Amino acid sequence: MEQRYFQKEIETMPVEELQKLQSEKLVKQVRHVYENVPYYKALMDEKGITPDDVRGIADLHKLPFLTKADLRDAYPYGLLAKPLADCVRIQSTSGTTGRRVVAFYTQKDVDLWEDCCARAIVAAGGTKEDVCQVAYGYGLFTGGPGLNGGSHKVGCLTLPMSSGNTERQIQFMQDLKATILCCTPSYAAYIGETLKEQGCKPEDIPLKAGIFGAEPWTEEMRRGIEETLGIRAYDIYGLTETSGPGVAFECCEQTGMHINEDHFLAEIIDPETGEVLPEGEKGELVFTSLDKEAFPLLRYRTRDICVLSRKKCSCGRTLIKMAKPMGRTDDMLIIRGVNVFPSQIETVLLNEGYQPNYQIIVDRAKNTDTFDVNVEMSPEQFTDKVSDVLKMEKSLANAMKTMLGINPAVHLVAPKSIVRSEGKAVRVIDKRKLV
C-alpha cells in the first residue's frame, strides 16, 4: 500500500505525543485569543473562565462555543486577533453580509493551510513529478487558492484552471497530461461524462487521482467517478472559518478523512445540549484552531454532523479520522459547491416585492445540480402575459444570482398554488439523496 507523507513526523506522531503538542498549543492559543479578541474574552468572562483555567486539551470543554451567529455579530473585524497590517489575505464564503464569513490570514496562516493541502495531495499519491489541475473556483472561495498552494508545496506542475469552461479543462488535461484533478465531486463527474461522450476511455486519460470535496458525495458517486476517469478519488474536507480545504483528507485506505490534528482540535458534541460525546458517537463537529494567528476560532460549531474514529489506519497516519459528513444541523444546502441558505432566497423575495411563498427544488441531472425556485405571485402581481412573466422571472433570477453567486431557474407560479403546510413549511425538496 502507498505510504507517502508530506510531513511524516507529524502525520505519524504517536497519539500521546500529538496530544501533548495539542495541549501546549491550546494553552498558548487561548491566551492569544483572550488578549487580542475582546469579543471572545467577553464570552470567557461570562463563563467565568480565564486562560489560567485551560492547562491542556482536557480543559477544552470549559471554553465557550463560537457559532456562525457570533461570526455574523463580529463581522468583519470582531474576531481578528492580529493587526490588519499583519494580515496578507482574506477568503470568504458566498452570501450577503448577514451570512458571509470573512476569514483573515497572516503569511504564516497561509503557509500552514497550504501544508495541510500538500498533505492531502501527497496522501493521494502526488509528487513533484505530477501535473495537478486545480478546477475548484479561485477568488474568494478557498478551494482554488488552497489546493493551488498545496500543489506548489508538493512541487507539482500546477494548472490553475479555476472551475468551468469544461472544453478548456479537457483540452489542458489532455495536452498537458494532468495526473491529479482537484475539484468538486459533481464537477469531476461532469468532466467524466463529457469525456465519455467524446469517446474517451479511462485509459486515454492521463489522470491517476482526484481530490474532491466542498460538498457531500456518496460512495456510489466515488465509484462512478473512479470508473469513468480511471482514477482513485479521494475526499477532502474543510471550511472557510478554519482556513479552507485540508482540515481533513483521505489516505489510500479511503475510509474517512484524517484530521490535521496538529492544527485543528476536533470534538463531537450533542447539538442540542452542547455536551461532548465520546469517540464513535454521532454529533456536531466542533473545531478549535491551534495555530491560526489572524482568525483563531476556539470551539467553532461547524453544523456538520459527523463521527470520529481513532481506529488504527493502515496508511500509518495516527491522525484521527472523520467520517464523511452525514448532514447538517442547519438548513444549509450546497448547490454546485456553493453554500445556500433558504433564508437568503427569502430575503431576495422580500427585497423584490414578493411574498415569501416559495419552494426550492434541488436535483441532480447528468451529475450537475439543478436548482429551481418556484415563487408564488400575489394576486396583484399575477399576469398571464408570457413575456411579462419571463421578464419578472429573469429579474428575480438575477437578484438571486447576485445574492448567492449561482443562478437558479426561477418559475413564477399562480397565487396560492404552492401547497401550504400545517406544520413547518416545506421550503426545500432535495432529491439528490447525498447522505
For ligand DLL, the nearest residue by Cβ is 213
Which one of 125, 126, 143, 145 is in contact with ligand DLL (CB under 6 A)? 143
Q: Is the peptide bond before 76 cis (omega within 30 degrees of 0)?
A: yes
The amino acid present at 226, given as its one-letter code, is E
| φ, ψ dihedrals at 6, nearest 5° | -90, -40
Angle at 221 between CA 149 and CA 333, to 5 degrees: 70
Closest to ligand DLL by CB, 245 vs 271, is 245
**Residue 339 binds ligand DLL, judged by CB under 6 A:** yes
Q: Please state the separation of Cα 94 from the chain's center in Å.
A: 12
The least CB distance from residue 239 to ligand DLL, in Å, is 4
C-alpha cell at 113: 493551510
If one asks whether residue 325 binds ligand DLL (CB under 6 A), the answer comes out as yes
Among positions 115, 262, 304, 376, the unique one binding ligand DLL when judged by CB under 6 A: 304
- What is the rounded CA–CA span in Å between residue 248 and residue 10? 14
93 is a contact residue toward ligand DLL (CB under 6 A): yes
Residue 237 or residue 295: which is nearer to ligand DLL going by CB? 237
Residues that contact ligand DLL, how many (by CB under 6 A): 23
What is the distance between the alpha carbons of residues 404 and 94, in angstroms, rounded to a whole number? Answer: 6
235 binds ligand DLL (CB under 6 A): yes
Comparing CA positions, the residue from 63, 43, 45 lying closest to residue 55 is: 63
Answer yes or no whether residue 136 interacts with ligand DLL by CB under 6 A.
yes
Strands 87-92 and 102-106: antiparallel
Closest distance to ligand DLL from the beta carbon of 99 (Å): 11
Q: Give the residues across from 106 on adjacent strands.
A: 87
Element (H, E) at 224: helix 219-229
Would you count residue 142 as binding ligand DLL (CB under 6 A)?
yes
Using CB atoms within 10 A of its CB, is residue 64 exposed (0-12), middle (13-18) or buried (19+)?
middle
Which residue from 429, 419, 420 is spatially nearest to 373, judged by alpha carbons? Answer: 429
- 134 versus 349: smaller Cβ distance to ligand DLL: 134
Beta strands in 257-340 (DSSP E): 257-259, 264-269, 283-289, 300-306, 308-309, 321-322, 333-335, 338-340
CB nearer to ligand DLL: pick between 10 and 334: 334
Instruction: State yes or no: residue 60 binds ligand DLL (CB under 6 A).
Output: no
Q: Which is nearer to ligand DLL, 11 or 304 (CB)?
A: 304
Q: How far is the CB of 134 from ligand DLL (least distance, A)?
A: 10
Q: Which member of 238, 283, 296, 405 binds ligand DLL (CB under 6 A)?
A: 238
Show the site string, 187-226: x = touches ligand DLL by CB under 6 A, - = not: --------------------------xxxx----------
Applying CB under 6 A, which residues contact ligand DLL? 93, 136, 142-143, 213-216, 235-240, 244-245, 302, 304, 324-325, 328, 334, 339
